[in-house]
Amino acid sequence: MNESQRVTLDTIREDYETQMYIARADDNLAVLGFTEHGDRHCSAVAMTAQTILLELGWPQRRAELAAIAGYMHDMGNMITREQHGIAAALLARHILDRLGTPLAETIDVMCAIGNHEEEYGEPVSEVAAAVILGDKSDVRSDRVRETGDVVGDIHDRVNAAAERASVSVDPDSRTITLALQIDTDVSPVMEYFEIFLSRMVLCRRAAEFLGCDFHLVINDVRLH
């Protein structure tokens, strides 16, 4: 397969089957009361994962595979919330095979998707590590649905309080930093750690796999 025939992030984003899976996954999670997991979230994860690897000097194709995995990582929710990473990996194999992706690349994408959840995931490759960082850093107010319960649901409340979230990479100092701006009138910072501590631990392991330190900055204060 030459460069012009390679499956790209655009190929995946334009694929009807992929779009149907992601849309139904997001619909299912809306019924269950979860934040947005549709095209906006998937695109954000894809772009963050890709950017991390590019800025750290990984080959462009490895970064593109991270973007593809990042975009497809949550579509397993259209089957079930539990073990949705594994379900998404298996769905991705069918799609990537149909699109003519080389088996080695399909395996890389499947592995990254299947390892993105903190309950059972591990940064076993640079592609997997980038997807983990992209996924766990996407905390933002526009993920809260119109039907969300900011008062009664801690996940909606923490996301609603996140006015800004950004990931930056310093290849010279080998650091990856997640910077958050949290409106403490909506949710105290402690609530962020109450629900996201295990995710931050996984981010630290993912950064370490990439040879970097992971820094968390909340409201301009670096947390050690």
| CATH number, position 216 | 1.10.3210.10
Q: What is the pLDDT of residue 2?
A: 56
Here the tokens at position 14 are 């334009």
DSSP state of 178: E
Condensed to tens digits (0 to 9), the pLDDT of residues 76-116 reads 999 999 999 999 999 999 999 999 999 999 999 999 999 99
Helix (H, G, I), strand (E, B) or coil at 177: strand
Amino acid 119: pLDDT:
87
Report the pLDDT value the prediction gives residue 4, as an integer from 0 to 100.
52
Number of domains in the chain: 1
pLDDT of residue 3: 59
The confidence score (pLDDT) of residue 172 equals: 97
Q: Which domain holds residue 164?
A: 3-223
Return the C-alpha torsion angle 16, 139, 33, 93, nearest 10: 30
Strand partners, 175: 170, 213
pLDDT < 70 stretches in the chain: 1-4, 224
Angle at the Cα of 138 from the Cα atoms of 109 and 101, rounded to 5 degrees: 15
